[in-house]
Amino acid sequence: MPCGILAFQGDVAEHEHALARLGTTSLRVTDRAQLDALTHLIIPGGESTVITAFLNESGLGVTIQERVRANTLAVMGTCAGAIALASEVGSPKPIDSLKLIDIAISRNAYGSQIYSFEEDVVFTPTGEQIRAVFIRAPKIVTVGDGVAVLANLRGGPILAQQGNVLVSTFHPEYLEKPTVHQFFLSFSNSCLPASGGRILE
Ligand code: GLN
């Protein structure tokens, strides 16, 4: 089954390349009907104001909320995608996020584009060191009780999971080895009804 990538705006092609390196085909998603056949969806980095407006105006946002809550869809949001999924967003502009993971996130928290950077961090599920790329990245400022933190930068969470929702403030699609995508495809399978139950409450 292909993995969907929300394809209204953002770095869709980079996620396609990451999935292709894992031998997984991808499907660009721009309408609700395309979601029906999918169990996995990536919301890419880009501009969260634009992505959330598209989700809300197209009706896709409500469909994603229903499917995630019914455990029939796993979603990974990277950077702007993480903002789109957060329960609370700190932003000068109002952001109507999907509220599917219990985190508060603050937009552009490291400053403007020129303060983008890369840093080695540990991907906790495997213990691997990965080179995380931060581009006008947000910061996760609080996480709720049901949220697992899977990587940190200088003591702050940068990769978090709650049930079938995974968010990263960096861009795992730029990793040479698509470790985080592989993790997303495997853990989300196990939280879907076909293979039984949520993995986190
Ligand atoms: N700063 C952007 C936003 O708030 C996110 C940047 C990114 O996705 N690389 O939407």
| DSSP assignment string, 126-159 | TTEEEEEEESS--EEEEE-TTPEEEEEETTEEEE
Q: Is the pLDDT of residue 151 over 70?
A: yes
Least trusted range by pLDDT, from 49-58, 116-125, 178-187? 178-187
Is pLDDT of 192 > 80?
A: no
Output the CA 179–ligand 1 centroid distance in Å.
Answer: 22
Structural domain boundaries in the chain: 3-185
Residue located via tokens 């991808």 = 26
Name the percent of the chain lying above pLDDT 70.
93
Is-above-0.85 flag for pTM? yes
Question: Is the predicted pLDDT of residue 189 greater than 80, yes or no?
Answer: no
What average pLDDT is seen over the chain? Answer: 92
Cβ(47) – ligand 1 distance below 6 Å: yes
pLDDT of residue 201: 32
pLDDT confidence of residue 197: 36
* Residue-level pLDDT at 200: 35
CA of 138 to the centre of ligand 1 (A): 7
pLDDT in tens, 70-113: 999 999 999 999 999 999 999 999 899 999 999 999 999 998 88
Identify the residue whose C-alpha is closest to ligand 1 atom 8: 45
Give me the catalytic one of 79, 118, 176, 201.
79
| Ligand 1 site, residue 79, Cβ cutoff 6 A | yes
Q: Quote the pLDDT of residue 198.
A: 38
Given a contact cutoff of 8 angstroms between Cβ atoms, the answer to whether 110 and 119 are in contact is no
Count of all residues that appear for the chain in the document: 201
Query: Minimum mean pLDDT among 53-57, 110-114, 152-156, 165-169: which range?
Result: 110-114
Distance 137 CA to ligand 1 centre (A): 6
Collapsed DSSP state (helix, strand, coil) of residue 68: helix
Q: What is the pLDDT of residue 187?
A: 54
In CATH, what class is 3-185? alpha beta
Residues ≥6 apart with Cβ < 8 Å to 50? 8, 9
Catalytic option among 15, 40, 171, 181: 171
pLDDT confidence of residue 171: 98
